[in-house]
Each structure stands twice: as structure tokens, then as C-alpha cells.
Amino acid sequence: MKRFPGVVASDGVNLGVRQGEIHCLLGENGAGKTTLMRVLYGLYQPDAGEILLNGKPIQISSPRAALTHHIGMVHQHFRLVPTLSVEENIILGLDEGTGPFLNLRKTRKKIREISEEYGLPIDPQAKVWQLTVGQQQRVEIIKALYRDASILIMDEPTSVLTLQEVDQLFATLRTLVDDGLTIIFITHKLNEVMEISDQVTVLRHGKVVATLPTSQTDKPSLAKSMVGREVVFRLEKSVVKRGERLLQVDTLHALNDRGLPAIRGVSFDLYGGEILGVAGVSGNGQAELAEVLTGLRKATSGRIFLGGKDITNRSAREITDAGVAHVPAERIRMGIVPALSIRENLILKSYRHPPFSRLCFLNRKESDAKARRAMEDYQIAAPSDETATKLLSGGNIQRVVLARELSGDPRLIIAAHPTYGLDVGATEQVRQVLLKQRERGAAVLLISEDLEEIMTISDRILVLFNGDVMGIIDADGADVEQIGLMMAGTRHEGAVGEETRVA
């Protein structure tokens, strides 16, 4: 059992994992999956209860102690030093070599053996910053294997991967299990549970709801026990009449943080009552596009019109005041001020306006009232509106961001990866909120790497590749394969032409 102030994060959990199986730990954000695993990895100490390994009680006081019991962990956010090489990262914290000298030759050999045995191709001498996210995860897995881990804890390993990388990861995990390793796989994605696991344990509010062989269950019943109620997988998308043209983007160009072209001549139109999905493999200009549209990045050329008014390179504040909401991709880094309260985060963009401030003073009563309303409307679970936002779960943080951004009925909503990392319940809620905004007549630009999401709720789909629009197609009857081709750089000429003519 593990208590945090005010909450029991892990409450009388009994978890049995057999050797040589892939055991999925399924639960919503805040259900206590990660807490439980951190106890196993020695990052937290249980307040009560014990851990048995091969029938013997053990005490895991630190990650180092976990390693002596051959327990390894691949964190959701990698623990790698970007400027060091792969092999240097792998031996980090180990006593390798003789005396003060490193002996990397032996290390390199062992890394090669591991990578060949388990199908984890990697160049030991590459610097970590040069690697893709998928490759970095591979380094983390090798790091654990290098330390002779026989139990591998993987915390939401697929959340950062592309579809192909997920397939590759699953193949690796199967080889590892065939070799006798045991894998605990934390996730909130039902598809993955069904695909990879032998056993599944469902957690809700820190308690075990069910443990059963995966073969004896299915997605709907897992979803039900995870959320505690029936979940609608199909969202009802009502017919909304397309409104006026709200956003017009004309041959937009912009640079990325390293000064290289990131957006090269992007043009599109967006109408009221419409959701335009932006699909693409990550790093093809989506992040920069959202930033240019919201005034956080300068356009080097091109024009942006909002309701016919030129807003190109206006400040973030002017664009906000013009009725543009932004649900940022990195919600914790950008979307909230973690140390401030929910109440204060909710007025982050409106604090200058009445009724939240008069002259130069903030009106506490008004922001309090607003916070209480928002917490009810968006079902933000927290002890009070004075709770520091950093103490909330990912889903609740996103609810705070949405509540703030959508208050004041914005005309245009730029939503970047709005359901990334959220559990089923929160994801459903976010999508419904976006659809409701569309019904209200707002224009929504939905940037997402989740193709299923884009296809479910968008009206049209724009595909970005290398900073360029590969085409805009209707979501109705859109074909995944076609979108896949566009994401890989094949231009879909017809649709683009049509769009331009409509514009």
C-alpha cells in the first residue's frame, strides 16, 4: 500500500506475475499503475504490504537494490544523457573498466551480443541525441538487459512510438519472453493489451479490479472495468453546417528552433463548424505550424488571416484576444504553471480582463467562482481549486487547460495532441468537448499523431510532410492507406486543387 498526502495511490493491491509472461497493468491515468511500479523499482517505499520474489520477501530500497534483484525499468520519459554515446549511457553508474579507466571494448561487445540476440539494432558509438525516439527506447531496454534484468517494467512504452516502431517493440518483447524474461507492461491502451499480453490486471483508483488471462476477455469488458462504466467507442458526430471561412493560411513559411525551414509554403482554409485534422509523422512541421498560428513563432513569409483580418506575426496575447484558443502539445511545460493553483491556472489568459481584475487588482471572488464552475463542468478531480496544479494527474491537467482555453467561446481552437497520454475516459471527454465546440460553430484545427482520432472526429484531413501540405481530403470515406502514403510524402494533387478553388 502506498499513501500520498490525501490520497491512497495504491490500496491493498495484490499483484501476482508469473515468470516468462507479459503482464499488462491496465488503468486510467491516476489509477495507480505507475505508483505501483515505482514501489517495485525502489523509487517509493510501501507504507504497508510486502513484495515477494520467487516466494521470498524482499525489500527494495532503491533502484540499485531493484537491480540486484534483476528488476529493470524503462521509464515513460527516458533517463538518458543526450550528449553521451549509447555505450556510455548504458554503463552509466556501473563500475566498468579498471581503476579510473573506462574499458568500452568489452561493453561494446556485450551490447552487440544483446542487440543481435534480441533484435535491437543499435550503433553503440552513436550519440543519444542523434537517435530517434524509438532508438532511444531501444537503448533503455539494452541498458536494462546489460544489467541482467530478468523482470522488465515498461511504463507506457508505446506512447512515444510510431506505428512501425510499436510493431518492432512488440516483436522484441516476444523474443525476450521466449528467452525467459518477465515483462510488466503498463498501458492504458486496450489494443495493446489484447495484442501483446498473456495476463492483464486492471487497476482503478489504486485498487485491483480484475486479474485474468487476456484470452478470456475482450476490449469492451476491459474498458468497462477500467473506467467503471460503459465506454462509447464510436462518437456521434452530428451534421453541422459549414460556417464562414474563419482562418485562411497563405503560403506560410517558418523556421524551426535550429533555424532550418520547418514550414514550407503551407496554405489551407478552415471554416466555422469544422474540424480540420492535421496528420503526419511527428516532426514534419506540426509543432511549428501550431506555434506560428498562435503567435509563439515568427512566420518568415506568408500570411495568416483570421476572419479576414491579417494576424500574421501578431503577439500571442493579441491573437488570444482575437479569439484563438491554444491547447498546447506539451501541456505541462507550456500549458500550466505547475506550482500555481488550479484557480490561478484557469485565469492565466483572462486575468487582465474584467471580471477577473479591476484596475490593477485581481478579483479573487470571481476567479474562485470561475474555478468552481470549471471544476464541475469539466469534472476536474481535486480536493479544492487551491490545489497546486502539479499534483493533478495528466487527465486532470488537460481538463484544466481545456477549461481555460475554451472559456470565452473562442472562434478558432488550435488543439495539438489533445488526448496524448490520456486514458480512455479523459480521451473520450476531450473529443466530445471538441465536437461540442464544432457544433457551437467554432473552427478547430486538430493536430494529432493518432490517426484513428483524426479520422473519427475531423471533417477534413490535412497531411503534412516535411513542412509541406501533401493534400487535404474529406474525412468521410478517407482511406487509411492513402493517408499513410501522403504521410510518407506522396502528394494528393486533386484534393488540393479543389480546395484552392473553393477558397
Partner 1 sequence: MKKPAWLNVERRPAASGRLVFAVSIIAILAALVVAGIFFQIYGVSPVRAYQVILKGALGSWLGLTETVRRAIPLLLIGVGLTIAFRALFWNIGAEGQLLMGAIAAAGVALFSGLPGPLLLPVMFIAGFAGGAAWGLIPAVLKVKLGINDVITTLMMNYIAIYLMEWLIHGPWKGPTARGFAYTDQFPRAAWLPTLYGTRIHWPTLVLGLLLALVMYILVTRTRSGFEIRVVGENPDAARFAGISQLKTTLLVMFIAGGFAGLAGVGEVAGIHHKLLGPLNISMGYGYTAIIVAWLARRNPLAVIITSFLFAIIISGGDVIKVSLGLPFQLINVFNGLILFFLIGSEVFIRYKASFSFRRQ
Which window, 80-88, 232-240, 282-290, 341-349, contacts partner 1 (CB under 8 A)? 341-349
25: which strand partners?
Answer: 186, 201
Which window, 14-22, 59-67, 166-174, 468-476, contacts partner 1 (CB under 8 A)? 59-67
User: Which listed residue (53, 322, 348, 485) binds partner 1 by CB under 8 A?
Assistant: 348
CA distance between the termini of the chain: 60
Q: Which is nearer to partner 1, 58 or 240 (CB)?
A: 58
Provide the minimum distance between the beta carbon of 117 and partner 1 in the complex, in angstroms, as a whole number: 31
Is 347 in contact with 451 (CB distance < 8 Å)? Answer: no
- The sign of the dihedral angle between the CA atoms of 195, 280, 309, 400 is positive
Near partner 1 in 24-43, by CB under 8 A: 43
Q: How many CB atoms lie within 10 A of CB 87?
A: 24
Q: Which is nearer to partner 1, 35 or 201 (CB)?
A: 35
Is 170 in contact with 196 (CB distance < 8 Å)? Answer: yes
Is 352 in contact with 360 (CB distance < 8 Å)? Answer: no
Q: Check binding of 340 to partner 1 (CB under 8 A).
A: yes
- The DSSP secondary-structure symbol of 371 reads H
Q: CA angle, corner 253, sides to 250 and 257, nearest 5?
A: 145
Q: Which is nearer to partner 1, 231 or 340 (CB)?
A: 340
Q: Dihedrals φ, ψ of 361, to 5°?
A: -100, 145
Provide the minimum distance between the beta carbon of 288 and partner 1 in the complex, in angstroms, as a whole number: 15
Q: Which is nearer to partner 1, 91 or 226 (CB)?
A: 91
User: Which listed residue (339, 381, 480, 488) binds partner 1 by CB under 8 A?
Assistant: 339
Q: How many Å apart are CA 392 and CA 29, to the nearest integer?
A: 10
Provide the minimum distance between the beta carbon of 412 and partner 1 in the complex, in angstroms, as a whole number: 16
Q: Dihedrals φ, ψ of 358, to 5°?
A: -125, 135
Near partner 1 in 3-22, by CB under 8 A: 4-5
Q: HSE on the CB side for 215, CA within 13 Å? A: 2
Which grid cell is 263? 514550414
Q: Per-residue x/- mask for partner 1, residues 289 to 328, rule CB under 8 A?
A: ------xx------------------xxxx-x-----x-x
Which window, 117-125, 143-151, 250-258, 360-368, contacts partner 1 (CB under 8 A)? 360-368
User: Which listed residue (110, 143, 188, 349) binds partner 1 by CB under 8 A?
Assistant: 349
Q: Which is nearer to partner 1, 44 or 271 (CB)?
A: 44
Q: Report which of 196, 169, 186, 146 is spatially closest to residue 22, judged by C-alpha positions.
A: 196
Q: Dihedrals φ, ψ of 399, to 5°?
A: -65, -40
Q: CA angle, corner 27, sides to 21 and 28, nearest 5?
A: 155
User: Which listed residue (364, 365, 436, 440) binds partner 1 by CB under 8 A?
Assistant: 364
Helix (H, G, I), strand (E, B) or coil at 388: strand
Provide the minimum distance between the beta carbon of 240 and partner 1 in the complex, in angstroms, as a whole number: 29
Which window, 165-173, 249-257, 359-367, 456-464, contacts partner 1 (CB under 8 A)? 359-367
Q: Which is nearer to partner 1, 13 or 495 (CB)?
A: 13
Q: How many Å apart are CA 236 and CA 234, to the nearest integer?
A: 6
Q: Which is nearer to partner 1, 45 or 191 (CB)?
A: 45
Q: Which residue has the cell 490593477?
A: 360
Near partner 1 in 368-407, by CB under 8 A: 388, 390-391
Q: Which is nearer to partner 1, 92 or 480 (CB)?
A: 92
Q: Per-residue x/- mask for partner 1, residues 193 to 232, rule CB under 8 A?
A: ----------------------------------------
30: which strand partners?
Answer: none
Q: What is the DSSP string of 176-219?
A: HHHTT-EEEEEES-HHHHHHH-SEEEEEETTEEEEEEEGGG--H
Which residues here bind partner 1, judged by CB under 8 A? 4-5, 43-45, 58-59, 61-62, 64-65, 295-296, 315-318, 320, 326, 328, 333-340, 344, 348-349, 351-352, 357, 360-362, 364, 388, 390-391
